[in-house]
Chain A
Amino acid sequence: DAKTTQPPSMDCAEGRAANLPCNHSTISGNEYVYWYRQIHSQGPQYIIHGLKNNETNEMASLIITEDRKSSTLILPHATLRDTAVYYCIVTQRGQGAQKLVFGQGTRLTINP
Chain B
Amino acid sequence: AQSVTQPDIHITVSEGASLELRCNYSYGATPYLFWYVQSPGQGLQLLLKYFSGDTLVQGIKGFEAEFKRSQSSFNLRKPSVHWSDAAEYFCAVDGGYQKVTFGIGTKLQVIP
Are these two chains actual partners, yes or no?
A: no
